[in-house]
Amino acid sequence: MRILSGIQPSGTIHIGNYFGMIKKMVEGQNDGELFAFIASYHALTTVKEKELLEKNIFEAAVNFLALGMDPEKSTFWVQHHVKEVLELYWILSNHTSMGLLERAHSYKDKTARGIQANHGLFSYPVLMAADILLFDSNIVPVGKDQIQHVEMTRDIANSFNNHYKTDILVLPEAKVDEVVATVPGTDGAKMSKSYGNTIDMFGSAKTIKKQVMGIVTDSKELHEPKDYTTCNIYKLCELFMNEDELNELQQRYATPGEGYGHFKMTLLDKINEHFAPYAARREELLNNPKEVNEILAHGAQKARKIAQVKMEKIRNIVGL
């Protein structure tokens, strides 16, 4: 079974990204054949500064590698290193109706938020379909907002297959993990970089401390017992602590004498302890772009081999 996922290189990553997506993906390397790429062409729809795009792509690669992406076990590459995807994108464009693209929620949401409505943004789902179909992906793990794009991929694949009376394009299934609790941000709402309520994974010690100290709580005082069930600090502690540690923390909430500042320090220690080994590996990779680029070149080579064979067949089918 082939699992494929694309990740937009979006700069800083936060612990919501980690627990919601990256951790599952890294662990999922044991469940099937994982194909994962950094969606650099897709990022062009929103990042139009050269240096920023370059930096984001490199850092996304470093982050994934530091967090456990195994380039031997999985195929891990940067989208624009395997240009066959653009050829498939063009071929598929001719089997994608305007109506299908006009119904895309993501396009409507993005333009409503002020992102320039241009052809790249409009045809984004066709490129995503090409990513998925080029590699015969069976399962595409995505967040809720991307389900429609996988459905559109199925529609496009179906119209291509029907037109040429073939089954060359494999229909993918979206996999949405409903159980993944949404990681709350420092204000209790979903942690998201667009809400400014994140705790960064690889920020400086000072930044992370400031973010943790900014977690919103009620105003109970030291001498009052506190309710852990409604506390944002506790909810975040749940991500890092085992059952015994959580029981002990519940006791501390029930016992007067400590304030929220103490609980925040406990959480901060846990966060630092959890990510320290990854941060060390990340530093190493950041200082060694040659190693990172070699890993990515190796991944691109593995991906390209598959892409070339697939494109040869598709060209034949359409008469190119």
Residue 48 bears catalytic tag:
no
| Residue 198 CB partners (closer than 8 Å, separation 6+) | 12, 14, 15, 16, 185, 186, 191, 192, 211
Minimum distance, C-beta of residue 137 to ligand ADP, in the bound complex (Å): 16
Minimum distance, C-beta of residue 118 to ligand TRP, in the bound complex (Å): 17
HSE toward the beta carbon, residue 151, CA cutoff 13 A: 12
Binds ligand TRP (CB under 6 A): choice among 3, 4, 231, 307? 4
Does 8 contact ligand TRP by CB under 6 A?
Answer: yes
Minimum distance, C-beta of residue 247 to ligand TRP, in the bound complex (Å): 37
Instruction: Please choose, out of 5-13, 61-69, 216-224, 243-251, the segment that lies near ligand TRP by the rule CB under 6 A.
Output: 5-13
Q: Binds 39, which of ligand ADP, ligand TRP, none (CB < 5 to 8 A, cut-off by type)?
A: ligand TRP
| Residues engaged in binding ligand ADP (CB under 6 A) | 10, 16-17, 20-21, 143, 180, 182-183, 190-194
Minimum distance, C-beta of residue 140 to ligand TRP, in the bound complex (Å): 5
Nearest C-alpha neighbor of 169 from the set 138, 127, 124, 128: 138
Does 75 contact ligand TRP by CB under 6 A?
Answer: no
Sheet with strand 173-175: strands edge to edge = 75-78, 33-38, 2-7, 139-141, 173-175
- CA dihedral sign of residues 222, 224, 225, 226: negative
Which residues in 237-266 are b (16+ Cβ under 10 Å) and which e?
bebbbeeeeeeebeeebeeeeeebeebbeb
Catalytic, out of 193, 209, 235, 302: 193
Q: Is 6 left (phi over 0), alpha (psi -120 to 50) or beta?
A: beta
Q: How many residues bind ligand TRP (CB under 6 A)?
A: 12
Contacting ligand TRP within 22-51 (CB under 6 A): 39, 42
The nearer residue to ligand ADP, 191 or 215, going by C-beta atoms, is: 191
Catalytic, out of 110, 226, 264, 310: 110
User: Cα–Cα distances in Å, from 156 out to 89, 98, 132, 169, 173?
Assistant: 11, 12, 11, 9, 14
Residue 193 bears catalytic tag:
yes
Q: In the chain, at which residue ranges do the beta strands (DSSP E only) sit?
A: 2-7, 33-38, 75-78, 139-141, 173-175
Minimum distance, C-beta of residue 93 to ligand TRP, in the bound complex (Å): 16
Residue whose Cβ sits closest to ligand TRP: 6
Q: Binds 6, which of ligand ADP, ligand TRP, none (CB < 5 to 8 A, cut-off by type)?
A: ligand TRP
Nearest C-alpha neighbor of 295 from the set 9, 77, 34: 77
Amino acid, single-letter form, for residue 280? A
Residue 264 bears catalytic tag:
no
Contacting ligand TRP within 115-174 (CB under 6 A): 128, 131-132, 140, 142, 146
Amino acid, single-letter form, for residue 30? N
Instruction: Write out the catalytic residue numbers.
Output: 110, 190, 193
The binding site for ligand TRP (CB under 6 A) comprises 4-6, 8, 39, 42, 128, 131-132, 140, 142, 146
